[in-house]
Structure 1
Amino acid sequence: MAAEHAHSYFDDAQGIAYGATMAAFGIAILTHLGMITGQTAGLAILIAYVSGWPFGAVFFVVNLPFYWFGYRRMGLRFTLKTFVAVGALAILSALMPRWISFADLNPAFGAILFGLVSGSALLAIFRHGASLGGIGILALYLQDHTGLRAGKTQLMFDAVLFLVALFVLPWVTVAWSALGALVVNLVIAINHRRDRYVAT
């Protein structure tokens, strides 16, 4: 069945390009509102807020240690595609503020819009055999080698990340950020199902 849905190189390129662009748009929304999200992107945003360093550069560097885990768990093809997706997001997130700006953006709607946009971005990237790196890869690796469920690892990481964020950001901002992260996870959970879509 997987062979029937195999992607060409062009398919993968446009899927990853779409995903990286939408993810960068999501980051533009999030950082405009001063919010964070979960996983590696959230860690990079928090570091960027505290240090003043650009998100794109921080996100690219933070992901570097995880490629080894990706190679061991998913293989070379996945790792190379992920490297391209992460690099594209890093570049596009630096360029996006030059292309768009927000005169007014309601925090509640912004959090939901971020979740919808980022969820669609991740779906596109996942369906083309890549990821945006980070904790998800490590979680799968640990699941294989220790038996600790990947979902629990990701949940624990996000819980610590949002707890730390409370010492940096107003609690209301963290609360809206949690809403955005929830929407992202709901979009993926509802739409990323192997019984509905299989691709290589």
Structure 2
Amino acid sequence: MVSFIESPSPDKHSPFDDIQGLIVGTLLVSLAVEFLQACDLFTGQIAGLSLVTAKATGMSFGSVFFLMNLPFYLIAYLRMGLAFTLKTFAAVGLLSVWSAILPQFFTLTNVHPLLGAALAGVTAGAGLIVLFRHGATLGGVGIVAVWLQDAKGIKAGWVQLGFDVLVFGLALSFFDLNAVVFSLVGAAITNIMIATNHRRDRYIAR
């Protein structure tokens, strides 16, 4: 029987646990991306900042996203270790794979932007929580957020939400107001879920 109790020293995940965690977490986030794309919305974090920067400078999104992530991978290696960094690389790669595969098998249509934003927020939040609990992120600010929570006790969800507010503020100059508002709703749901659920001292299954 599975019970959920507090434990000061939870057992470590096995390699198999981590593999399935990375697969499930990235699949959920990829599903969130499908909801956002179906509603012409966008996300926060470094991906959102890269999109805004690309709009402002004329550079490609891929180039900006790659360059902006480089210092965060260095932080991951220096502060969180090699295993965390490699898992994060693996998670980013898996997300790219799922994002290419999912549209080949189903298409979302006639989704109201508010519902799409809410569903994206929930699925992304669940996926990121899974990744965090298996020692990985999807790069960018998530790396700093997890490090600050582990090292300083600052909630990862609030760190990410604070950054997202800045990103969406900048986005007002380049995107439709309704798209920005609905996108912010999705980001808020994601980060509130992380802030209230990502606790290393809780939910240890035995």
Identical pairs, percent: 44
CA 1:16–1:142: 2 relative to 1, 3 Å: closer
More divergent stretch after superposition (33-42 vs 12-21): 33-42
Q: Which residue is 1:87 aligned to?
A: 93
Q: Can you list the C-alpha shifts for 1:67-118, whole angstroms capped at 9, x where unaligned?
A: 1100111001101001100111122223322222112101111111001100
- How far did residue 14 of structure 1 move? 0.5
Contact 1:19 1:121 in 2 (8 A): yes
Contact kept, 8 Å, 2:113 with 2:182, in 1: the verdict is yes
User: Normalising to structure 1: TM-score of the pair?
Assistant: 0.81
CA apart distance, 1:192 = 1.3
Look up the match of 2:80. 74
1:192 aligns with 2:186: no
Distance 1:6 1:124 in 2: 14
Deviation of the 1:60 alpha carbon: 5.5
2:121 paired with 1:115: yes
Opposite residue 84 of structure 1, the aligned amino acid is A
User: Secondary structure in 2 aligned to 1:27?
Assistant: helix
Contact 1:40–1:59 (CA under 8 A) maintained in structure 2:
yes
Deviation at 1:138, TM superposition (A): 3.7
SS at match of 1:64: helix
Which stretch shows the higher mean deviation, 105-114 or 62-71?
62-71
Question: Distance between the aligned counterparts of 2:120 and 2:110, measured in 1?
Answer: 15
Deviation per residue, 1:8-65 (Å, 9 max, x gap): 111100000111111111111112212122212323454677869677x865664333
* Correspondence for 2:3: none
TM, length-normalised to structure 2: 0.79
2:109 aligned with 1:103, yes or no?
Answer: yes
**Alpha-carbon distance change, 124 to 60 in structure 1, aligned in 2, over 3 angstroms:** farther
- What is the RMSD of the two structures over their aligned residues, measured on CA atoms? 3.1
Alpha-carbon distance in 2 for matches of 1:160, 1:27: 20
Q: What is the number of equivalent residue pairs in this alignment?
A: 196
* Partner Cα separation in structure 2 for residue 198 and residue 171 of structure 1: 42
Secondary structure of 2:196's counterpart equals helix
CA contact (8 A) 2:164 2:187 kept: no
Secondary structure of 2:115's aligned partner: helix
Match of 2:139 among 133, 154, 164: 133
Distance 2:106 2:65 in 1: 21
Residue equivalent to 1:25: 31
Q: Which runs of 5+ in 1 are unaligned?
A: none
Mapped contact 2:29–2:124 kept (Cα < 8 A): yes
Structure 2: how far apart are the matches of 1:98 and 1:60?
25
Aligned residue runs from structure 1 range 45-84, under 5 A: 45-46=51-52, 59=65, 62-84=68-90
Structure 2, gaps ≥5 residues long: 1-6
